[in-house]
Amino acid sequence: MKYLFLFISLLLATSTFAQQKPQKIKYRHADEHKFDSRIDAEAQMMVGNVEFEHGGSILTCDSAVFYQGKNIMRAYGNVEINQADTLHMYSEYLEYDGNTKLSVAHGKVKLIDSKMTLKSDTIHFDRNKQIAYYPAFGEIKDDENLLTSIVGTYYTTNKKFVFTSNVTVTNDKYIMKSNHLVYYTDPKTVYFYGPSTITSETNYIYCENGFYDTKNEISYFKKNAFINYGTQTLRGDSLYYNRNTGFGSASKSIVMNDTTKDIIIKGEYAEYFEKSDSTFVTDRALAINVMKQDSVFIHGDTLMMTIIPNTQNRLMRVFHNVKIFKPDMQGKCDSLTYNELEGEMKMLYDPILWSGKNQLTSDTIIVTTNTITQKLDSLKLLKNGFIISNDTIENYNQIKGKDIYGKFKNDELSTINVVGNSETFYYARNEKKELIGINKAVSSSMLIKLKDNEINEISFIQEPEAELSPDETIPENARKLKGFIWRSDERFGEKEDIFRKSPLKVYNKDEDFVGPKNELKKSTSPDKKILKKNKKLKPIKSAN
């Protein structure tokens, strides 16, 4: 019984649907009304102030041919369809089928609703589905945007345009271009489904997928997306941009390239503040200073790049777990700043540098690069400066002082000026690299010359106390200056290693020092035969 009732209900519904007939076009008025059998036996000719009604819409024109039996008509001159005062379509000529509610309008066609105006030479309009289509160039205008395309479709119910060929969106702030674009007149949002560009006075945007809220100036771009800010380009798997605030963000595979400064910034998340011209990058943040020979790679947990106000000088700041890589120099610290105009890099909080065989530490390290030649220029180790170089597997040359100033030549340390509480401990060798003794020296300040990253000559400036002793006279526990820490296990040899997390280490320099401070002063005099044999070598040179 249940299934029988269902069957009867379906049958009645089908029968009712089948009995429904298309509404007939109703003739309402014309100044002249006649038949012309030369055209068609059923054709009615109407001229002057012609008016028809169909399905809640009013059609008016200058003249018309009406086929009442076929329920179709052709309208000529000043044609207008008024659909419940919500949609109006104007044209010079119109063909309308009352059975299907399909119309084709030609000649200066204009479709108007409360949100926009569509203009084209030809528009197909389906009143059943409320869809308008133009096959050859159309122009859409609302209160903010002008859109043009070769082909387009308008869904009047949800105020949606679909464009598929040579689309251009123009307003007073930018120009958009695409080959596949969807636009909602309310809330004035554009969706991109193919290669698309947005050009404005401040930037240029490219994407292959995404949307742009033209009313609130908020956008989101994906697939090969990038924003170009003149000399800077920001790329990412996805980009967010607010044109009102000038704020942009990027996620995944981020690359920001500055062509004028030869700097590339990478990471997994970035924020860009257009008005202050500053960038914030985190998650595998990396800055690459592109140089003619060897680029410098700087990594940290967080990276910030900012234009100094009223200048074109860019300041880079890197925070926490900072690592630096250059084939001939590596470094670590917890905080770093880089001044592009001056070529100055400042390292803070437990900084360390490795250059060749040398390990350099102090409270603050400053390295300056010649901005013209792009080569290392000078070095400052401020407060507790300490330089250690590996002489052999177990022996280390050491330089220590309050402040240490160095100069580079061809990216290698050439001279070192130690100022305040200067101390050295190094293994003196002759031209054949044969060990002739161990030199321990203390002075107010000293000048050290290096050759091939090794100490070649020392000049004492004030109050020197120096002693050259045979190797066998120096006990093992007296071969390190106070504060000595050899940190070669932290050094990295490849740029990929800068992303490797370092184990947390806490150093106590006083506890790591082994042996009495003045042990060397108590040792015996050097063997005269050893000095005579190596008389050409002058490891100590007093400036007094």
CB atoms within 10 A of CB 296: 23
By DSSP bridging, strand 314-326 and strand 329-339 are antiparallel
Alpha-carbon span 349 to 241, nearest angstrom: 36
- What pLDDT shows up at residue 314? 79
Which of 324-328, 398-402, 451-455 is the most confident on average?
Answer: 398-402
Contact by Cβ (8 Å): 115, 186: yes
φ and ψ of 51, to 5 deg: -145, 130
Strands (E), 18-136: 26-29, 32-35, 43-54, 57-67, 72-83, 87-97, 102-113, 117-126, 131-134
- What pLDDT shows up at residue 505? 52
Residues 6+ apart with CB under 8 A from 486: 359, 388, 390, 396
Selected residue with higher pLDDT from 279 and 104: 104
Of 76, 155, 73, 92, the C-alpha closest to 118 is 155
Alpha-carbon span 473 to 265, nearest angstrom: 54
- What pLDDT shows up at residue 39? 61
Tokens of 221: 């771009």
What mean pLDDT comes out for the span 66-77? Answer: 92
How does the average pLDDT of the chain come out, rounded? 82
Tokens of 522: 């108590």
Alpha-carbon span 406 to 376, nearest angstrom: 11
Q: Which class does domain 24-136 fall in? A: mainly beta
Domain spans of the chain, in order of start: 24-136, 351-544
Contact by Cβ (8 Å): 136, 156: no
- What pLDDT shows up at residue 503? 56
**Model confidence, pTM:** 0.72
- What pLDDT shows up at residue 292? 67
Alpha-carbon span 256 to 252, nearest angstrom: 12
Selected residue with higher pLDDT from 62 and 296: 62
Residue 99 in this model has a pLDDT that exceeds 60: yes
- What pLDDT shows up at residue 155? 92
What band does 276 get if pLDDT is binned at 50, 70 and 90?
confident
- What pLDDT shows up at residue 14? 43
For the stretch 36-52, pLDDT in tens is 666 666 788 999 999 99
What mean pLDDT comes out for the span 70-74? Answer: 93
- Among 121-135, 392-406, 529-543, the range scoring the smallest mean pLDDT is 529-543
φ and ψ of 531, to 5 deg: -70, -35
3-state secondary structure 255-281: EEEECCCCEEEEEEEEEEECCCCEEEE
Tokens of 387: 């330089």
Q: What is the DSSP secondary structure assignment for residue 508, as one 8-state letter? A: -
Residues 6+ apart with CB under 8 A from 314: 258, 261, 263, 305, 306, 307, 308, 340, 341
Tokens of 378: 């000078």
Tokens of 410: 């061809």
φ and ψ of 239, to 5 deg: -130, 135
Q: Using only C-alpha atoms, what is the Rg of the chain?
A: 42
What mean pLDDT comes out for the span 184-211? Answer: 90
Residue 464 in this model has a pLDDT that exceeds 90: no
Alpha-carbon span 417 to 436, nearest angstrom: 24
Alpha-carbon span 526 to 540, nearest angstrom: 14
> 3-state DSSP: the chain helix, strand, coil percent, rounded to 5?
10, 60, 30
